[in-house]
Structure 1
Amino acid sequence: LQCATAQTPSTVIWLKGHTELKAGGRYEMSQKERVLTLTIKHLEEKDTDIYTCDVGTAKTIAKVTIKGKDLSNQDRKEGESVTLSCALSKPAANVQWKKGSEILEGGEKYEMKQKDTCLELQIKDLKVEDSGDYSCVCGDQKTSATVKVNVSGKSQEADEGVSVTLQCELSKPGVPVEWKKGTQSGEKYQMKQKASVNELLINKVEPEDSGDYSCVCGDQKTTASLKINGMRISDWNLYNILRCSKCYVILNVGKRTNFFHFVS
């Protein structure tokens, strides 16, 4: 805060309300010729008040209002919890939390806490339908933030040669989606959609099919990891061994038959 006088004053008093302030701590006072300055560091809600610069022969006042902390947008995965925090300029009892125009009540889903001017809303076990705009409302004061809940993809592990189906569920049916492996869209796969459930079928998977698969709908994306285990000798069907000085081992692997020649 600054005030300027007609002539260089010999004394100056800074007041907060009716309380005289002293230099030190969070208050810093300086004077440069006829300009007087009061600096308040690390502002808090309790600093809201009327401040006075009094030089004896004249004085000037200013009102300082410290706004509470606004809500911040949150991005979470399905199944997690999220906590929204805001701070009012002064303690109040008539505080409401809203999702859109709906007033929220405390319970298993929502937990609300208040300590002086600090308010918290915890949303538990997040679902896609919990996405939306949330507001902390107190009288004519209001602060809002957007919560975005991303669907969690389930990673899978499968053996080579089988078929694998990946699923993602949207918050509403009939919305077009795109399936990707890594960052590329695929063409070798079968895709199905029934209501809000989308499926990607990968036939006869091979080790190179391992990777991260994404279900993309607009700015929403869910990703799952797929790991394909290659065939091991214990998985092979060793069905004939000829006992002779020169033997052939016939290995039947899926649709592929391999002949190995052993020399004794």
Structure 2
Amino acid sequence: TKHFLLICKVKAEDAGEIRFTAKNVESVARLDVNELPIKIVKPLRDKTALEKHKVILECTVSKPRARVRWYRGEEEIHPTDKYQICSEDCYRQLVIHNVSFEDEDTYTCDAFDDCSSAKVLVEGTLITASPFRGR
């Protein structure tokens, strides 16, 4: 007769020694649990922003507690007055305040096992002047 143990919805804290005992027979095994890699399930999208406004880059990761890093080109972004980094449940956001033409670049959300990139383009406000009409 064969017996088996089925463990559903395994979590990291389930790792350890598993012992099966029946009368005078005993079997011991070690359960190792490897977490699934973090995936970006909804990637970043290219955005166009108006100069002096804000732009929000957002993506969704596969786990609520997933750590991410944000990059502009190859340079890591840290929270400042210019950049706001938000993390709520599985949603990750980078808010760029007071956008200028110098902010045009490729931005990346790096979830260590997966990443997503998007381009930010900046448009200026068109100001038209009326011709001067003297008296």
Q: Distance in 2 between matches of 1:80 and 1:66?
A: 30
| Residue 88 of structure 2: aligned partner | 115
Q: Distance in 1 between matches of 2:125 and 2:39?
A: 40
Shift of 1:128: 0.4
3-state SS of 2:64 partner: coil
| Number of aligned residues | 101
| Residue 91 of structure 1: aligned partner | 64
Change (3 A) 1:138 1:67: closer
Who wins on radius of gyration, i.e. which is larger? Answer: 1
Q: Which has the higher contact order (CA 8 A, sep 6+)?
A: 2
Note if 1:100 corresponds to 2:90. Answer: no
3-state SS of 2:99 partner: coil
Q: Distance in 1 between matches of 2:61 and 2:42?
A: 7
Structure 2 unaligned spans of 5+: 1-6, 10-37
Residue 110 of structure 2: which of 125, 133, 137 is its match? 137
Q: Distance in 1 between matches of 2:130 and 2:82?
A: 33
TM-score scaled by structure 1? Answer: 0.35
Change (3 A) 1:121 1:66: closer
Shift of 1:93: 4.7
Superposition RMSD in Å: 2.2
Note if 1:18 corresponds to 2:3. Answer: no
User: 1:53-91 CA deviation, whole Å, 9 max, x = no partner?
Assistant: xxxxxxxxxxxx985110000011211110001111112
Contact kept? 2:40, 2:111, Cα under 8 Å:
no
Q: Distance in 2 between matches of 1:66 and 1:137?
A: 10
Shift of 1:140: 2.0
> Which letter maps to 1:18?
C
3-state SS of 1:155 partner: coil
Q: Distance in 1 between matches of 2:87 and 2:40?
A: 17
TM-score scaled by structure 2? Answer: 0.66
Q: Distance in 2 between matches of 1:159 and 1:137?
A: 53
Greater strand share, structure number: 1
Q: Distance in 2 between matches of 1:68 and 1:85?
A: 11
Q: Distance in 1 between matches of 2:109 and 2:48?
A: 18
User: 1:144-163 CA deviation, whole Å, 9 max, x = no partner?
Assistant: 10000123233323323xxx
Contact kept? 1:92, 1:138, Cα under 8 Å:
no
Q: Distance in 1 between matches of 2:80 and 2:66?
A: 19
Shift of 1:101: 0.5
Q: Distance in 2 between matches of 1:130 and 1:82?
A: 10
1:1-264 paired onto structure 2 within 5 Å: 18=8, 67-160=40-133, 235=135
